[in-house]
Chain A
């Protein structure tokens, strides 16, 4: 019953719809933690879109680096801010789990989509036909784009130094 409904197109549109809804909730949210939850869902939906467009390597990187590392950085920063009064004053004050249901519903839609993709042999064959594997990406990265990779490593080093410098405790009490 799901087999005739499921094509690459319709799954892509569903994942895109999930990404747009989750991004709207990120932008319009009041509570920081709930907005971060929706941001994770948005990134996962975009990762499903990447997989359906024939880029499984980029989809894996999106889940690992974006949803795994960058969002954890956000969560740690929110913990350090301690959710000041200007954050929680506007948020609805009910303490139940009903706020999580929207993000859980969207993530559940993505999970169903992944299960459909894995269980459908025709879909897998169609996806395998036009995939760009990580080998081609690696050859490009260390061939024509070698200088860009070096510059990216310098950028990461600069980000590391700037992050350390700005976030370290101020001992001299001087100006910023």
Chain B
């Protein structure tokens, strides 16, 4: 999923100051799962902002809404009837959702309530960890199902570096050394010979190297 974290309240309060009627829009997808921008978080943030501005003597009028997805035009339409009654949208979606709101509703300012972080997985309740950088040319098949690009601090395709200590990364002992994980998994699979195949210098074009990317499926295109 795409993971995100709420921005500091101070920053949100600052950007809402010029406005009175706010549409606080959550998203029912990834940011719900990582407890950053779902219906519940919309409720909590709405209460917090409401209380703050009320205390300041400048009460807001906050409308809460949570869409199935903010990154699809079909769902975004649900915002349309609200738009002439609000001064600004505070989106609790990831950066994709925020941009789609901005693209669809050109006249209304939209602010991000979250900082979008990474594509990751939940390691345990309350913790999400990075798993993928969308390089566009997956190498997981030759690295035992552990991604060296997103999980090695130096992005080494032929690791580990000399800083791997007891399975941990030199950058931070909370980070597992990706190459230790890769090696352990290759051993478990009986595929240790894969380790000595040097992975070639990566072609970054399928990643960000060739500019912003698009996927076009002719069979589905309208």
User: Does A associate with B in a complex?
Assistant: no
